[in-house]
C-alpha cells in the first residue's frame, strides 16, 4: 500500500443458476486466488451467490435460506484472506426481498448494501421480486447473534490507510440519473465498487465503458466494476462479462468479453485525494447519516502491475497522437491570432536557429497568419549566426524560412558580441556563462529592435521543459511578446514538428523538418568541434524524456520524490539505471526551485494541456521557496539505493 496504491480485483466467476453451494465454492476459491495476487478489495457480480438470472425462483424460500447460509460459509472460509470482499445475494428483511451486496472482512459480515434502482423493462423485471433499498441503515439480524447494518449510506474506512474510503452501488444504480455513488463520493468515498449483471447486446460495451469511465472522472474516484458472465441463464439474454477497473476517467484494466476472468490492478488513492483537494467544485456533504465500518490492511509495498507511461504528455497510438498534435497547433495558432488582432500587428518577428523550438514557433506563426489572411511575407524570420552556429543548423534555418514563404533576414551577431566583450572586459577565450548569455541577449535585442522598427511582435520560441529547468537566458531567449511554445513540453515539441512534416504536403519542407528532428538539441553558444555541434543540452541538464516525466507527476499530481522515482523506475525499466534516474531527479528539483524567478515574469502564452507553468494561474510558486525537504528525500533515496 506504499505511496497510496491499493490493489483491487473484479471477478466474473462461472456460476450455476440457483446453486448457492456451488457458487460459494467458486467465490471462495477465486477470492483466495485474487488475494494471492495482492488484491485487498475483491468484488464479485450482482447476486453472485445465487446467480442473477433466477427469475421467479427468487420467491422460493429454500433458495433464500441457502443463499444466506452460504454467505456465512464464504465468510468463514475466507477469514484468512487479507481483503475486503463484496458478494451479491437476495436477502429478506421486514417481509420484503432486497437485491444486496454483502461486505465481508476476515470472517465477519460488516454490512449489507441494498440496490436502489430496480429495472422493470424489457427482459429485466426486478421490481417483480425485489424492493427498493433504504438509504439510512437499519439493523438486520442475519442469524442469532449476528446483526449488521443494512442500507445504501455506508462507508468502509481503512484504519491503516486513511485515504481509502469505500462505498458500493449495484448495477442499475449507475445507469440512473442520480446514482448513489454521487452521494457516496461527496460523503468522502474515493473507491466505488459496483456488483453488476449487465446483459450483452450490440454496442452496449461502449456505453457501459463510458458510464464507468465518466463516473470515475466526475467523482474523482476509483471505480471497481464486476460484471456477470458465462454461467448465467441464456434463456433470453447473454451475459458477457466486461469487468472494469477505472481511476479518474482512465480504464486501468478491462476484462475480455464472453469469458470468465479476474482482473487486477492498483488504484492510487493518494492521487485521488490530491485531485479532490485541487478541485474547488468538489464540495463535500454532511456525512453524519452514513454508517461507518472500519477495517485494516497490511501497509506493505504493493507491486505495480498498472502501466506507467514513460511519455505522459504524448499519446501512445498514432491516431490519438495526430489528433493531439492538430489540436495543440490549433490552440497555439488561435492564441497568437487573437494577440495579433488585438494589438493590430501585421508583422511578427521570429528568431530561427534551425532547432526544434524555433521551428515549431515559425510553423505556428505561419498558421496564425494564414488564419488572419495576412501574407507570410509579413513574418520576419531572422537567423543570427554566432560563435556556435553550425552549417547544418544554419542551412536548415534558411531552407525552412524559404519553404514557408517568410521574409528571411540574416544578421550575424559575432561582431556585435565582440564589441560587447570589449565594453564589459570579457575575455573572448573564456567560454563561461557570460560568453554564452551575451550571445542570447544580443539575439533578443536584435529581434526586439526589428519589431520596433516594423511595428511587429516578437514571438517567443522557448518550451515548457526549458522553463521548468530554467534553461533560458534571463532577458535573452527567456523574453518575448508572446510565447507560443510556453506550455508545450520538449517531448511533445518533437511530435508536433513530425506531425507537420507528415501532413504539410510539401516534399521539400518535409525534408527540412525531418533533418531538424534529427539534429541534437543544442543552444549552439560554444564553438563547434570539427564543424559539429559541441554543446548538447541533454548532456548538461539531462534527458528531456526524464525531465518531462518528472515535471508531469510533480506538477500535475504533486507527488513526492520517492513516488516519482518509483514510477520512473517502472516506466524506464531497461532504459535507465536507478542511479541515473535519481541523478537527474536531483538536478530537476534543484533547478526547478532555483529558477522560479524566471517563470515569475513569463510573457503571455497559450495553455495547451493540464500542466503549465504560467505565474498567472497554473504555478503560483514563490521565487524564494526552499528546496530542502525535497532534496532531503532524494538524498534518503540515494542512501536506500546504496548510491553515493
The residues annotated with a catalytic role in the active site are 46, 115, 171
Q: Strand 108-114 relative to strand 96-105: parallel, antiparallel, unpaired?
A: antiparallel
The closest of 177, 255, 258, 182 to 221, measured between CA atoms, is: 182
Answer for the pair 408, 381: CB distance below 8 angstroms, yes or no.
Answer: yes
Q: Which residues share a beta bridge with 114?
A: 100
Which helix (H) or strand (E) segment is 201 a member of? none
Residue 163: CA count within 13 A, CB half-sphere: 21
Distances (CA, A) of 198 to 81, 133, 229: 28, 19, 9
Task: Classify residue 251 by its DSSP letter.
Answer: E
Place of cell 471462495: 28
Polymer length in residues for the chain = 644
Distance between CA atoms of residues 392 and 383, nearest Å: 13
Distance between CA atoms of residues 352 and 305, nearest Å: 45
The closest of 329, 396, 338 to 366, measured between CA atoms, is: 329
Q: Strand 84-93 relative to strand 41-43: parallel, antiparallel, unpaired?
A: parallel
**Rounded to 5 degrees, what are φ and ψ at 558?**
70, 25
Distances (CA, A) of 81 to 76, 167, 451: 10, 20, 71
Q: Strand 262-268 relative to strand 482-483: parallel, antiparallel, unpaired?
A: unpaired
Task: Classify residue 521 by its DSSP letter.
Answer: P
Amino acid at each position: 500500500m506504499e505511496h497510496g496504491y491499493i490493489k483491487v480485483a473484479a471477478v466474473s466467476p462461472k456460476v450455476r443458476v440457483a446453486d448457492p453451494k456451488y457458487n460459494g465454492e467458486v467465490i471462495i476459491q477465486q477470492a483466495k486466488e485474487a488475494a494471492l495476487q495482492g488484491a485487498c478489495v475483491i468484488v464479485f457480480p450482482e447476486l453472485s451467490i445465487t446467480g442473477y438470472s433466477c427469475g421467479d425462483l427468487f420467491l422460493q424460500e429454500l433458495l433464500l435460506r441457502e443463499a444466506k447460509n452460504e454467505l456465512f460459509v464464504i465468510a468463514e472460509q475466507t477469514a484468512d484472506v487479507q481483503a475486503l470482499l463484496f458478494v451479491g445475494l437476495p436477502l429478506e428483511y421486514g417481509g420484503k426481498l432486497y437485491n444486496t451486496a454483502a461486505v465481508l472482512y476476515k470472517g465477519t459480515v460488516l454490512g449489507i448494501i441494498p440496490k436502489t434502482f430496480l429495472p422493470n423493462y424489457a427482459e429485466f423485471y426486478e421490481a417483480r421480486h425485489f424492493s427498493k433499498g433504504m438509504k439510512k441503515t437499519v439493523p438486520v439480524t442475519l442469524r442469532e447473534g449476528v446483526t449488521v447494518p443494512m442500507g445504501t449510506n455506508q462507508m468502509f474506512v481503512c484504519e491503516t490507510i486513511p485515504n481509502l474510503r469505500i462505498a458500493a452501488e449495484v448495477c442499475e444504480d449507475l445507469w440512473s440519473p442520480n446514482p448513489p455513488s454521487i452521494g457516496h463520493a461527496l460523503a468522502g468515498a474515493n473507491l466505488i465498487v459496483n456488483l453488476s449483471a449487465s446483459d450483452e447486446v450490440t454496442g452496449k460495451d461502449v456505453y457501459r465503458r463510458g458510464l464507468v469511465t465518466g463516473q470515475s472522472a466526475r467523482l474523482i474516484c476509483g471505480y471497481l466494476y464486476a460484471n456477470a458472465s458465462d454461467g448465467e441463464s441464456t434463456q433470453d439474454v447473454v451475459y458477457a462479462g466486461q469487468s472494469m477497473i477505472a481511476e479518474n476517467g482512465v480504464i486501468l484494466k478491462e476484462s475480455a468479453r464472453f469469458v470468465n476472468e479476474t482482473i487486477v490492478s492498483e488504484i492510487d488513492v493518494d492521487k485521488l485525494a490530491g485531485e479532490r483537494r485541487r478541485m474547488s467544485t468538489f464540495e463535500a456533504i454532511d456525512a453524519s447519516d452514513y454508517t461507518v465500518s472500519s477495517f485494516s490492511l497490511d501497509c506493505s509495498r504493493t507491486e505495480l502491475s498498472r502501466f506507467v507511461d514513460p511519455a505522459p504528455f504524448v499519446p501512445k497510438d498514432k491516431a490519438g497522437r495526430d489528433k493531439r498534435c492538430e489540436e495543440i497547433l490549433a490552440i497555439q495558432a488561435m492564441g497568437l491570432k487573437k494577440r495579433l488582432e488585438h494589438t493590430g500587428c501585421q508583422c511578427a518577428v521570429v528568431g530561427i536557429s534551425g532547432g526544434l523550438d524555433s521551428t515549431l514557433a515559425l510553423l505556428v506563426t505561419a498558421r496564425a497568419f494564414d488564419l488572419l489572411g495576412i501574407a507570410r511575407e509579413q513574418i520576419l524570420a531572422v537567423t543570427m549566426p554566432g560563435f556556435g552556429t553550425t552549417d547544418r543548423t544554419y542551412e536548415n534555418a534558411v531552407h525552412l524560412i524559404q519553404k514557408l514563404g517568410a521574409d528571411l533576414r540574416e544578421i550575424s551577431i559575432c561582431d556585435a558580441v565582440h564589441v560587447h566583450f570589449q565594453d564589459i572586459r570579457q575575455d573572448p577565450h573564456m567560454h563561461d556563462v557570460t560568453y554564452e548569455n551575451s550571445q542570447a541577449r544580443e539575439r533578443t535585442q536584435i529581434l526586439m529592435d526589428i519589431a520596433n522598427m516594423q511595428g511587429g511582435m516578437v514571438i517567443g520560441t522557448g518550451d515548457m521543459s526549458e522553463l521548468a529547468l530554467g534553461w533560458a537566458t534571463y532577458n535573452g531567449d527567456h523574453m518575448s511578446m508572446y510565447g507560443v511554445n510556453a506550455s508545450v513540453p520538449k517531448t511533445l515539441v518533437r511530435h508536433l514538428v513530425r506531425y507537420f512534416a507528415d501532413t504539410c504536403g510539401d516534399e521539400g519542407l518535409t525534408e527540412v523538418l525531418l533533418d531538424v528532428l534529427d539534429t541534437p538539441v543544442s543552444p549552439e553558444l560554444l564553438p563547434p568541434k570539427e564543424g559539429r555541434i559541441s554543446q548538447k543540452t541533454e548532456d548538461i541538464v539531462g534527458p528531456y524524456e526524464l525531465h518531462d516525466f518528472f515535471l508531469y507527476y510533480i506538477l500535475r499530481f504533486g507527488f513526492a520524490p520517492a513516488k516519482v522515482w518509483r514510477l520512473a523506475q517502472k516506466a524506464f525499466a531497461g532504459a535507465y539505471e536507478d542511479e541515473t534516474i535519481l541523478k537527474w531527479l536531483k538536478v530537476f528539483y534543484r533547478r526547478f526551485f532555483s529558477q522560479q524567478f524566471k517563470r515569475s515574469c513569463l510573457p503571455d502564452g497559450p495553455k495547451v494541456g493540464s500542466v503549465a507553468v504560467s505565474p498567472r494561474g497554473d504555478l503560483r510558486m514563490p521565487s524564494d521557496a526552499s528546496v530542502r525537504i525535497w532534496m532531503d528525500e532524494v538524498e534518503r533515496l540515494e542512501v536506500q539505493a546504496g548510491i553515493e
